[in-house]
Amino acid sequence: MWLILLSTFLISLGSLIGVFTLSLKPKKLEQILLYLISLAAGAMMGAAFLHLLPEAPNYLFTLFGFIGFFLIEKFLHWRHCHHAYCDEHSFGHMSLIGDSLHNFLDGLIIAAAFTTNQSLGFATVLAIALHEIPQEIGDFGILLYSGWSRRQALSANFLVALTAVAGGLIGYWLSDLHQFSVSLMPIAAGGFIYIAASDLLPEIRKETNFNKSLLNFSVFLLGVLLMLIFKN
């Protein structure tokens, strides 16, 4: 129980990272974000295929997870942002609503992972944390560009991020139902694959410089390697 609470709270603290980017020049920030995106993409793919899917009794649920995350993005206008400013959802309140659901689902997934086994739990937390860093930087930028003050943006981001703790608590209570954890693992795998394939990898592909592309690919492989290390 305490590992779930600690993990989801630390994930929530990641919402404050945006303030450390204020002193960076936009071009430098975009470069850093691209490397973070590459690392997150590798980690999420690695977590899905090396950790979550092996725990899945029914791979059909992975397809359900993939489709489910697509529908959430399509109809609730939840789109992951990985830039200092995103035109796709510049309306601050809409961004917060989408993030609330996203963070709550993260909490459920973390709880299900830890109640399955600790190794799976730590790997899942790492994959989610690596994805949260570029996302939270983007979310912070969205709120600033929507007219929020720095204090308002940080406070709102943190409060919304705490829904991960709520998800963790509810997930822990539901873990007594064995089918909950068993069913959520392939659904989470589908979600990770969807996020990596639809949101993260397309950002990496936009890089046209060969050397930078090679470096991004190396960072992507590093993310996969991190998941492989947790596997052993």
Instruction: Give me the chain's average pLDDT, please.
Output: 85
84 vs 217: CA distance, rounded Å: 22
Instruction: Give residue 94's pLDDT.
Output: 65
Alpha helices by DSSP H, 50-117? 60-75, 92-116
pLDDT in tens, 161-213: 999 999 999 999 988 776 788 889 999 999 999 999 988 899 889 888 999 99
pLDDT in tens, 213-227: 999 999 999 999 999
Alpha helices by DSSP H, the chain? 2-13, 26-46, 60-75, 92-116, 118-145, 150-161, 163-174, 178-195, 201-205, 210-231
Does 64 have pLDDT greater than 70?
Answer: yes
- DSSP designation for 21: G
The angle that helices 118-145 and 150-161 make with each other, rounded to 10 degrees, is: 150
How far is residue 18 from each of residues 23, 40, 163, measured CA to CA in Å?
10, 17, 18
134 vs 15: CA distance, rounded Å: 10
Q: pTM of the full predicted structure? A: 0.85
Confidence of residue 123 (pLDDT cuts 50, 70, 90): very high
pLDDT in tens, 93-122: 666 777 888 899 999 999 999 998 899 999
231 vs 207: CA distance, rounded Å: 31
Q: What percent of the chain has pLDDT over 70?
A: 89
Amino acid at 163: T
Angle at the Cα of 48 from the Cα atoms of 47 and 53, rounded to 5 degrees: 120
